[in-house]
Amino acid sequence: MAPPPPSPSMAPPGLIHSAPGLLDAGASLLPPQTVKAAASRMSDPATDTPSAIQICRIMRPDDANVAGNVHGGTILKMIEEAGAIISTRHCNSQNGERCVAALARVERTDFLSPMCIGEVAHVSAEITYTSKHSVEVQVNVMSENILTGTKKLTNKATLWYVPLSLKNVDKVLEVPPVVYSRQEQEEEGRKRYEAQKLERMETKWRNGDIVQPVLNPEPNTVSYSQSSLIHLVGPSDCTLHGFVHGGVTMKLMDEVAGIVAARHCKTNIVTASVDAINFHDKIRKGCVITISGRMTFTSNKSMEIEVLVDADPVVDNLQKRYRAASAFFTYVSLSQEGKPLPVPQLVPETEDEKRRFEEGKGRYLQMKAKRQGHAEPQA
């Protein structure tokens, strides 16, 4: 009697596996010569560790909305899983204190094409810059229709990670350097690093707002569609070291933003883009997190929703509730045929809502100018 085939957990060391929830067999679907060629390309001459990886899995019904479009949060979670794998590997590529890479920021991410149930998501991640204490990872997502062979680029994202010591997760370790193929790459990366560092600091100081419920709100107002989700952080949400995966937080943020958008326009909605997501502090196992979303701006065909994540360490009486993450999500309304629909115009009522509306309008016009190839408006 032949012995049973080995389970994925018994696979020999050295194979590239996806994070939990992804198909471990994804890499083995490639022809041997392709795997060998990819392995040679992914070898970093300085550390001899992979500088790029790819993971993939098929999209299932529980990944999508009722119309069959894959949730933006599902894609964001896969993007973060790939980024966490490659950045943690790199940060442990030299002898020294062991660490785990924690997500600090995701730059603006556009959803270029919808992904549907039955398609295969290919997520490719590559390290593009390292500072003394952070790693920049570029991620591309392709969708593949396995019936027709058609492939489309659906997402491009930039993520920033910091290495936290396994002995003390409040201690940030130094990052091993990478070797750049061009001299200009390091300088370009340094500029991106300084820009995101400044913006993260500015965003943190603006994050004092709290979303308050309103009784009997009028349709099309901010209060009418605002929504909150309360979640107790359990072991399945966390890394082995007791704090929440960034991808889990982003998925919950997208769910709340989607509820806000659906309540506002009463149609099928999809994520169009996500402005920079900033992670201000770690969320530990056992915390109760409140994810709050509110409409801030509407154009003719899009909705901007601000999402705030607050953590309440209920098992620690010494620590107060704190702001853990924040971002702006943009959604569009679609017909049953998948065509864009007009969006009901938001009616801001209070002075704060009017201020946030004007700020959202500024972000919208700035991004519209970028897409049309014009120079960025001056502040």
Residues serving a catalytic function are 65, 254
93: left (phi over 0), alpha (psi -120 to 50) or beta: alpha
Q: Which residues touch 5 (CB under 8 Å, ≥6 apart)?
A: none
Q: Which residues touch 325 (CB under 8 Å, ≥6 apart)?
A: 249, 253, 277, 278, 279, 280, 308, 309
In 3D space, the residue among 59, 92, 91 whose CA is nearest the CA of residue 73 turns out to be 59
Helix (H) or strand (E) holding 127: strand 120-130
Whole-angstrom Cα distance, residue 82 to residue 85? Answer: 5
Do 84 and 245 form a contact (C-beta atoms < 8 A)?
yes
Task: Report how far Cα 340 is from the mean position of its chain's Cα atoms.
Answer: 24
Whole-angstrom Cα distance, residue 89 to residue 108? Answer: 25
Whole-angstrom Cα distance, residue 122 to residue 17? Answer: 13
β-pair partners for 327: 307
- Long-range pairs, 24-27, Cβ under 8 A, ≥24: 26/54, 26/55, 26/56, 26/57, 27/54, 27/55
Whole-angstrom Cα distance, residue 29 to residue 55? Answer: 11
Whole-angstrom Cα distance, residue 234 to residue 17? Answer: 24
Q: Using CB atoms within 10 Å of the CB of residue 331, give its burial: 0 to 12 exposed, 13 to 18 middle, 19+ buried.
A: buried
Q: Using CB atoms within 10 Å of the CB of residue 367, give its burial: 0 to 12 exposed, 13 to 18 middle, 19+ buried.
A: middle
Place of tokens 């801001």: 348
In 3D space, the residue among 188, 200, 108, 191 whose CA is nearest the CA of residue 162 turns out to be 200
